[in-house]
Amino acid sequence: MYEDPMYEDKRATAPPLQQLTFSLADEEYGVDILAVREIRSWSRVTRIPQTPDYVLGVLNLRGAIVPIMDLRLRFGLQRESYGDDTVVIIVAIAERLFGIVVDAVSDVVDIDPAAIKPVPDMGAVVDTRYLKGLATYAERMVMLLDVEKLMRPEDVETLDAALPAIQEVEVAA
Amino acid sequence: MSAVDLTQFHKTFFEESREGLDAMEAALLALDSGATDHELVHTIFRAAHSIKGGAATFGFADVAAFTHVAESLLEEVRSERRAVDSGLIEVLLRSVDCMRAMLERSSQGQPVADAESEALRVELVQLVSGEVAAPAVAAASMVAPVSGWNIAFTALPHLLQTGNDPLRLFRELQQLGRLEVVRAFVTDSAPAQLAELDPSQCHLGWELRLHGAVARADIDAVFDWLDGDCELTIAPLAEVAVVGAAAPATSGSPPAATGTPRPVRETAAATGAGTSGEGSSIRVGIDKVDALINMMGELVITQSMLSDIGEKFELSQLGRLRDGLVQLERTTRELQESVMRIRMLPIGSVFNRFPRLVHDLERKLDKRVKLELHGEHTELDKTVLEKIGDPLVHLVRNAIDHGLESPAQRKAAGKSETGTLKLNAYHEGGNIVVQISDDGAGLNHAAIVAKAQQRGLIAAGQELSDAEVAELIFQPGFSTAAQATDLSGRGVGMDVVRRNVRDLGGSVGVRSVSGKGSTFTITLPLTLAIIDGLVTAVGSERYIVPLTSIVESLRLRADAVRRIAGGGEVFHFRDEYLPIMRLHRAFACNDAVTDIEHGIVVVIEEDGRRVGLLVDDLLGQQQAVVKSLEAHYRRVQGISGATILSDGSVALIVDVGGVVRLGQRSKAA
Amino acid sequence: MAKILAVDDSASMRGMVAFTLRGAGHEVTEAENGQLALDAARGGSFELVLADVNMPVMDGIAMVRELRAMDAYKGVPILMLTTESHTEKKMEGKAAGATGWLVKPFDPEQLLATVKRVLG
C-alpha cells in the first residue's frame, strides 16, 4: 500500500487539488494542473537513439529540447497512429519539461484530497508505480498520475540500462 | 597640469590584489602543510606589500592600514624574527579573508573597515612585537625659525656613480632660497697627477650659504638621497631664539618644489563608487592573442587578394576567386574558433579555492584530509566555470562533512587516519567531467532511506536499489540541513547542486560503495558555443556532424568495402583501413539507405583516429547552436547535443569522439 | 623628453607610473620584474629607471646592482619606488647604487616632481 505523506499534510489544510483529466485506453487519469505547462497537438518529433520505445523523441518547445513520452507505450499498451487529434500535455517537474502523449484531454476538476484512496494492486493491467492514488469524480474513477516518477530520468536510465548499448561495428584488425 | 585620473587603475588594482591574496593563501597553506621554502614566505610578503602600496596609492586607506600591520608581522617572519606556527598561519589566513572582504567592499564603493576588520587589525598590532615605529610625520612638522643655513657639502668620490649630480642639488637648493657659494674646493681624495683623474669620480666640496626662512626638513629632503655619498653639515646662519608661535612665513608658503598635490587622491576616492559597476573581464594568455593576430594577418592577405581579383575580374580568374573564397572561409572559421577559445579558462582557478576550504573544514570538523587535485589545466567555458564553483564547493563540503569519517573511526575501520579527497577534471567526448571522490564511508543507505521516509519521499517498507537510494539525496526536500553541521547544510540541498549543474546543461550523479567511499560525477558541456556542422540525412532523421571533425566525404563503390569475419565492414582510405559505422544501424533509424553504394561515407577523425560514417545524403552546412539534451532529458550515447534547424525541427549532433572510439575499439578487438 | 624604464610587478602601479609619465611627454617602457628590466635596458638607452623593490624573479636591489655593472648605466639615475619608510631598504638600495627613492604611496604630481628633480 502506498501512502504519500505529502498528501497527508495537504489534507490538514485541504484545499481541493485541481487535476487535468485525460483519457487513455478508456481509462481516466488526472495530472496535477500545477505541473501542466501547455497542451498541444501532435507534431513530428526527432527520434533519439538508445532510448526506450515509449520515449518517442524530442521536439523544439521555444528553443528547449523537450522529450516526449507516449503514456500508452509506457503502460505497455499499443498505439495505432499519431495524428492531428493526438494530444501532448507538456508538464514540468523541477524545471524539467517533458511531454506526455495521451488519447484526449477531458477536463479540469477539483479533487478533495480527503477523497483520495491508495492504489490497490491492480495486477498487470496498469503499472501502479506511477500512480499517486485513486479519486472519484462525478462517479468516475480518476487515476492520479505521479508525473515525477514517470519522468525521473534516472528511472529511465535504470530501465534502459537493460537495452543494448550502441551497436558496435565488429571488425577484426 | 596632468590631472591623472587614478580610478582607471582601480580595476587592475583589484584584480591583481585578488590574485595576490590567492597566492598568499596558497603559500600559507603550503607552509602549513610543512613546507619550509623561503620563497613561500617571500611570496606572501610580496603580495601583502604590493597590496599595501597599491591601496595607499589609489586611496584605499583602510586597506592600506590593515595590510600595513599584516605586512609588519610578515616582515618579522621574513627576517626570521618570528617562527611560523599554525597559530600564526591561522591569523594570517583570517587576514587574507579580511583583506579580500575589504577589497570587495572597496570595489563596490562601500565603507571598507568594519568591526571585524578593526578587531583583527588590533589583534595583529598586538602580535607585532616592539610596536610599529612612530609615524615619521613628526619630523616634517619641525620648523626652523631661522634666517638661513650654512651648508658644508663634500662629495665622496663615488657620488656620481649613484646617478646623483651636485648641480641638481644646487638647483633644488636655489628653489628653496637664495643660494650663495662661499667656497668650492678639491678634496684630498683627488689624485696628485691629473692623468690619474677618473672622470667618474668626484673630488669636490662646497661651502654654501642658503638665505631665507627655509625649513631644515626641506634641506634634508634635498640631500636625502645622498646619505652615505657625501659629508654634510648643516647649521643655522644665526641662532634665532625660538619665541612662541614660530615662523608664519614658513608654514604659510610651502616651498615650490613640493607643490600642492593633494586633490587628486580625494577625487579618486570620491569617484571610486562610480567604477564599481565592474564589467567582467577576462585575462587571456598571450599565445591566444598571438594566434588571433596571426589569423587577422591571414584575413588581411586574403582580403587584399580578393579585392585584387575583383578589381579587374576576368572569367579566367574564376579558379583564383574560388581559392580565395575557400581561404576566406577557412580563416574566418579559424578566427571564430580562436575567439571562442579565448573564453576557455582552466578549471584550476576554481580548484584553487579548495586547499583553503579543506584546511578550514579539517579544523572545524576535526578530520584529517589529504586533498588531491588532478586536471587543473582542463579548460572550460568562462560562463560554465563561473557557475560551477558553488556546486563544487557544496560537494567538497559534503564529502568532508558526511563522506569522510573521523580519524578514530577510520582507524577502527582499518583505514589510514587521513582521508583522501580527490578532485579530477578531464575531457570526455564533447564534455568536461569533474569528479569529486572520497575514500570515506560511502552513502549511508539506511540513514538515507529513513530520512526519505521521514520526509515523505518514499513509503515505509519500499524496497530500493542502491542506485535508487543514491538518487534520493538529489530529491528536492531531502536536504539534510536540519541535522547537519552548519557546514554542508547551509540550507542548500543536493537538489540545488543538481539544478545548478542542469542549468549549465550538465548532469550530476553519484556512485558509492559502502565503506570505500563515494564519487560524485559532474558532466558539463565544453562550451555553450556554436559549431559549424554538416547536416546529414539518415532515413527521416537529420544528424549534424561537426565540420571540424570531418576529413572527407566520399561515395564508395561496393567493391571498395571489405567484409570481415563477424560482419564488420572496412574500406581503404589513404593507406589505412577504416571501419564503417552505419549510422542508421547505430542509431536504429528506419527507411535509411543500407546499400553503401547509394549512401555517402563521411570520414571523421578525433585524436588522429578515423571512422567512416555511412549516411544517406549530405544536406549542407549550417551553424548550429548547441543545446543540451540533458537539460530536460539525459545524456545519450553517441550524441553530444541537439540543435534546432531552420524549419524549427530538432536535429541531433553526433558525438564524434564517442563514435570514433566505438568504431576503433571494435577494430582493435 | 626622456626615455624612462618603469619596473614594477604590480600592473596597477606600473600602469599609473607609465600613464602619468607618458602624459608628461616621456617615452616609457614597462617591465614586470628586474630580469625583464635588464633585458629592456640592454636593448634601449634609458635616461631614468624607476623600480619597485619587492618583485618576483629579480628584485629591485639586485636589478640596480646589475644595471650599475653595465657601462651604459653607470651614471643613469635609478629611483627606487619603495614603501619602506624605514631606512633599512633605502640604504640597501643605495648600497646597490640607486640614486634615490620615491616613497609609496605617491600621487602623479609627486612622481612628476621627483622625475623633474632628477632629470633637471
Give pLDDT tens digits for B563-579: 877 668 899 888 888 99
Which chain B residues are closer than 8 Å to C24 by Cβ? 2
pLDDT for C87 equals 64
Residues in chain B: 669
Among chain A residues, the shortest Cα distance to B582 is held by: A169
Q: Nearest to residue B660, comparing CAs of B551, B521, B534, B535?
A: B551
Which chain B residues are closer than 8 Å to A94 by Cβ? 476, 495, 499
B64-68, B214-218, B349-353: segment of lowest average pLDDT? B214-218
| pLDDT bracket for residue B225 (50, 70, 90) | confident
Q: Retrieve residue C109's grid coordinates.
A: 604630481
Q: Does A121 touch chain B (CB under 8 A)?
A: no
- Residue C90 maps to which CATH number? 3.40.50.2300
pLDDT for B410 equals 93
CB C109 within 8 A of CB B259: yes
User: Does residue B553 register a pLDDT over 50?
Assistant: yes
Over residues B231-279, the pLDDT tens digits come to 888 888 765 444 333 333 333 344 434 333 333 333 333 333 333 334 5
Q: Which residue, among A69, A88, A171, would best test binding to B if mutated, counting the most B CBs under 10 Å from its CB?
A: A171
Q: Name the one residue in this structure whose C-alpha cell is 564534455.
A: B431
CB-based contact C120 B57, cutoff 8 Å: no
pLDDT for C86 equals 58
Residues 6+ apart with CB under 8 A from A82: A42, A101
With both helix axes pointing from N to C terminus, report the angle between B10-32 and B354-365 in degrees, rounded to the nearest 10: 50
Please provide the average confidence, as pLDDT, over all residues in chain A.
77
Q: Name the one residue in this structure whose C-alpha cell is 562533512.
A: B401
Query: Number of structural domains, chain C?
Result: 1
- What fold characterizes domain B6-142? Four Helix Bundle (Hemerythrin (Met), subunit A) (1.20.120)
- Where helices occur in B58-85 by DSSP H, the ranges are 61-78
Q: CA angle at residue B652 from B535 to A164, to 5 degrees?
A: 125
CATH C-level class of B145-245? alpha beta
Distance set, CA B551 to CA B327, B505, B535, B606, B613 (Å):
17, 29, 15, 10, 11
Q: Residue-wise over B561-576: b if at least 16 C-beta within 10 A, else e?
A: beebeeebbbbebeee
CB-based contact C118 B168, cutoff 8 Å: yes
Over residues C31-63, the pLDDT tens digits come to 999 999 999 999 888 999 999 988 888 989 999
pLDDT for B432 equals 86
CB-based contact B567 A170, cutoff 8 Å: yes
Q: Does chain B touch chain A (at least 3 C-beta pairs within 8 Å)?
A: yes
Q: Name the one residue in this structure whose C-alpha cell is 515505509.
A: B460
| pLDDT bracket for residue B320 (50, 70, 90) | confident
Q: Does A6 touch chain B (CB under 8 A)?
A: yes
Query: Average of pLDDT values for B598-621?
Result: 89
Which chain B residues are closer than 8 Å to C77 by Cβ? 163-164
CA distance B550 to B333: 14
Which chain B residues are closer than 8 Å to C97 by Cβ? 161-163
Q: Retrieve residue B502's grid coordinates.
A: 542542469
CA distance B34 to chain A (A): 45
Question: Residue C11 belongs to what domain range?
Answer: 3-119
What is the residue type of C69?
A
CA distance A58 to B651: 9
Q: Which is the CATH superfamily of the domain at B348-525?
A: Histidine kinase-like ATPase, C-terminal domain (3.30.565.10)
User: Does residue B649 register a pLDDT over 70?
Assistant: yes
Q: Does C112 touch chain B (CB under 8 A)?
A: yes
Which chain A residues are closer than 8 Å to B633 by Cβ? 48, 55, 58, 65-67, 98, 153
Q: Which is the CATH superfamily of the domain at B530-668?
A: CheA-289, Domain 4 (2.40.50.180)
Query: Average of pLDDT values for B368-383?
Result: 88
CA distance B526 to C32: 34
Among chain C residues, the shortest Cα distance to B132 is held by: C86
CA distance B91 to C57: 28
User: Does residue B56 register a pLDDT over 50?
Assistant: yes
ipTM entry: 0.82
Which chain A residues are closer than 8 Å to B642 by Cβ? 46, 58, 65
Q: What percent of chain B has pLDDT over 70?
A: 85
CB-based contact B665 A168, cutoff 8 Å: yes
Which residue in C23, C52, C78 is closest to B4 by CB distance?
C23
| pLDDT bracket for residue A6 (50, 70, 90) | very low
Query: Average of pLDDT values for B70-78?
Result: 85
User: Does residue B133 register a pLDDT over 70?
Assistant: no
Q: Does A67 touch chain B (CB under 8 A)?
A: yes
Specify the higher pLDDT residue, A37 or B135.
A37
pLDDT for B280 equals 62
| pLDDT bracket for residue A1 (50, 70, 90) | very low
| pLDDT bracket for residue B411 (50, 70, 90) | very high
